[in-house]
Chain A
Amino acid sequence: GAGVSQSPRYKVAKRGQDVALRCDPISGHVSLFWYQQALGQGPEFLTYFQNEAQLDKSGLPSDRFFAERPEGSVSTLKIQRTQQEDSAVYLCASSSTDRGAYNEQFFGPGTRLTVL
């Protein structure tokens, strides 16, 4: 595709519900990243995949957050038992080399999650 796509673009959940956010990276991009952006803040790193391997999940805020990329392309970020503090925009980014640190990350439009 032309760029990184994410769905849904907006999600409203009641506290305690589970949600799943999808990311389609740029075709052929090896590396995929998830970031969380709270209102008025800069994005914060959540987790990183190289192909299907999750190499860094140090930014996941709790064990309620889980990410997967089973076939090395599409990724899903799942949040269980959502809480109000999970409300944020979740951004996905992809880059084209194995070592994402040396290549530019291209961001998707984000999913705005609101937990009531």
Chain B
Amino acid sequence: ELKVEQNPLFLSMQEGKNYTIYCNYSTTSDRLYWYRQDPGKSLESLFVLLSNGAVKQEGRLMASLDTKARLSTLHITAAVHDLSATYFCAVIRLNTDKLIFGTGTRLQVFP
């Protein structure tokens, strides 16, 4: 059974600091997604990672994928308050179309 784990579950960080969120998954997959969710809102797509070694960056966020280790990271550089949200990673189960989501990381950035 495909399981997706994220850590940490909660992250409180000061503006200007750097931090990394980790996403581990249990079986082979070739697609990994990162989503952002603001309270009471739906999921906003951030990154789609399609192959081993893939790295994508958008603003202060950078995502990478290591398919051999079954690990993805979401790195936050010089955090700002606007990044406060819950971040989910999700993996497509091979030969299916369903997304399997991690538990989410709730990020709070304070001054």
Contacts and interface: CB of A to CB of B under 8 A. Distances in A.
Interface in B29-48: 31, 33, 35, 41-45, 48
Nearest to B93: A101
Interface of A is mostly: mixed
Given A42-B102, A101-B92, A110 B97 contact: no
A56 B42 contact: no
Contacts of A109: 41-42
A104 B97 contact: no
Interface in A26-59: 31, 33, 35, 40-45, 48, 55-56, 59
A72 to B, nearest CB: 16
A42 B42 contact: no
A106 interface: yes
Interface of B is mostly: strand
A56 B43 contact: no
B25 interface: no
Interface centre among B48, B92, B96 (most CB of A within 10 A): B96
B103 A42 contact: yes
Q: What class of interface size applies to chain A in its complex with B? A: 20 to 34
Contact of B99 (A41, A99, A105): A105
B99 A45 contact: yes
Contacts of A42: 4, 88, 90, 101-104
Interface string B59-84: 00000000000000000000000000
Given A42-B101, A43-B43, A101-B92, 12 more contacts: A35-B99, A41-B103, A41-B104, A42-B4, A42-B90, A42-B103, A43-B88, A45-B98, A45-B100, A55-B97, A101-B96, A105-B33
19 contacts: A33-B99, A40-B104, A42-B103, A43-B43, A43-B99, A45-B98, A45-B100, A48-B98, A56-B96, A56-B98, A59-B98, A91-B42, A91-B43, A101-B96, A104-B45, A105-B33, A105-B99, A108-B42, A109-B42
